Every structure is written in structure tokens, then in C-alpha cells.
Amino acid sequence: MKKLLFVIILFTSLKNYSQEIQFVKEYDKVNYKDTDGNKIDKLAKSYVYFYNKGKVKVKIINSINLTLFLTEINEKELIGTKTTFFKGIDNKENKIRGFYTEKSFSILSDTSTLILNKEEPNSESKNNISYKNNNYCNERFSFCIEYPKGFLPNGESGNGDGQSFYSKDRKTKISSWGNLVIEDFITLKSNFERDKKNKNITYSNKRENYYVISGIENGKIFYQKTLQKKINYLGNNENTDILITYKIEYPQSQKNEYDYYCNKINNELK
């Protein structure tokens, strides 16, 4: 009788424990860096366990184990992808923020950046560059951008308006950011005129809700697209006008390698 009672109690406790886990996500690629210069950039199986009451555990095989506590969660549909933004603290009481989708899990704090991604087979372009492996989502301006898997994130800006990504040789830079439209100060037209200054412009095209410019800046090829749209800005106003900009800058010697990404910017930012 005592043995049976013990089995029942054990089964109940295990059942209750398993019910604490809401869901688990699995990723394949790890990119990590902290302010001390420690870096990890490799393929490694990773698991993110989401528990009740906002507890999250991140387990990266043979590398990192983290415990997080999420205090704010906000779900959005961005480019047809369900994206969950969050804020909280880690087990050392550092403030964190980030987002996750089926393909990516990203954490940013004052001391480190951790990005997990799913490897996608057959995602290579004709130039052997993958443009679907990593992605960055911005909560403040409700946009997501995909960037090549070999690029390293530079960390989100202090005001949360965007982020830049660099190739490993630091010669190519991809940037993405947002601005609020402020009548008579920051508009699509004023930004278009400003962004053409002090550059050798080889192409420009302005339409009602976007513009594209490209040419040579500081000896490098650049391609930029800026789009005006309305969003629910920080949950306060569903009809807030904003500007979203994607830009790539790369050496002229690497033109054949990155021309493909210019087309990607033009096609994605709509």
C-alpha cells in the first residue's frame, strides 16, 4: 500500500512538473558575444524551454545554460511571421529584452548578445551566400530583416530604433532602422533629399510611400530603401506614420557578391 502511494505521489509530481513546461523550441546555430570579448559562433544544438509564470531556460549543448524570467510579452505579426517580443531579467538580475519566432531566438542585455537560429538547407544563393539564416526583429518600429548568416550583429541601438550587422572582415555593413515621421521636420521627402547629399548618386527613385537611392559613398557601393507606413506605435496609436530604412554598404571589389542583397532589400521592404 505504501509502495503504491509512493508511485502515485511520484507520478503526480512528475505530471505537475511536465505541465510547467508550456513548449520547447529547438535551434541549430549559436552566435554569442559579451563585453569581455568572449564570442561563440558555431553550429550547436540548442533548446529553449518555456515554463509557466514567465520562466525560460536556454540550453546550448556544451556551451551555455541560462535562466530568464520574462516580465513583459507582446506578440505581433511581422512579414507573415508570428513574432513574440519580451522583456525581463536573467538569473543575475541583468535586464534583458529580445524576441523569438520559429526560426530565431534573440536576447540582448547590457553585457551580452545571444542569437539562436535554425539552419535552413538549400537557402544558398547563386553566390553561395545565405540570406535566410539569421533575422532581426525590431519591436519599437515593428519590422524584421534577414541578414547573411556569416554577419555579426553590432547590438541594438540604445534607443531601440535599429541595428547594424558586419561581415567577418568588417568591410560590408547592413543597417536597419526606423524613424517617427514628424511633420515639417522628418518626412519621406526631407529624408530623400538629405540622404542624397555628399554622395555620388548613380540611381534614385522616389514614389508616394518609398524611395530608393544607390551609388558610391566613402569609396563603397551603397544601396538604400526607405519606406513610409503606419503602425501601432508602442501600443499607443494604430495610425502612427514611421519610416523604415534598410541599407547595405560594400566594397566595389565585392560588387558581384552583394548585388543580390540589393534586390533582396528592394523586394522585402514593402
Classify residue 86 as left (phi > 0), alpha (psi -120 to 50) or beta: beta
Q: What is the pLDDT of residues 18-47, one digit of tens each?
A: 458 888 998 888 888 877 777 888 888 889
Helix (H, G, I), strand (E, B) or coil at 218: coil
CA 143 to CA 62: how far, in whole Å? 33
Beta strands in 148-209 (DSSP E): 152-153, 162-166, 173-180, 200-206
Cell 561581415 belongs to 167
Rg (CA), the chain: 22
Closest of 161, 268, 261 to residue 221, by C-alpha: 261
**Which domains does the chain carry?**
21-119 (2.40.160), 143-268 (3.40.1000.10)
Cell 505504501 belongs to 2
Closest of 193, 26, 216 to residue 104, by C-alpha: 26
The pTM of this model reads 0.67
**Stretches in the chain below the pLDDT threshold 50:** 1-18, 122-131
Determine the pLDDT at residue 36.
77
- The grid coordinates listed for 231 are 503602425
Determine the pLDDT at residue 250.
96
Determine the pLDDT at residue 79.
65
CA 100 to CA 68: how far, in whole Å? 14
Q: How far apart are the first and last CA of the chain?
A: 68
- The grid coordinates listed for 7 are 508511485
Query: How distant, in Å, are the alpha carbons of 109, 123, 260 from that of 126?
Result: 36, 10, 9
Q: How many CB atoms lie within 10 A of CB 254?
A: 16
- Quote the distance between the C-alpha of residue 75 and its chain's center: 15
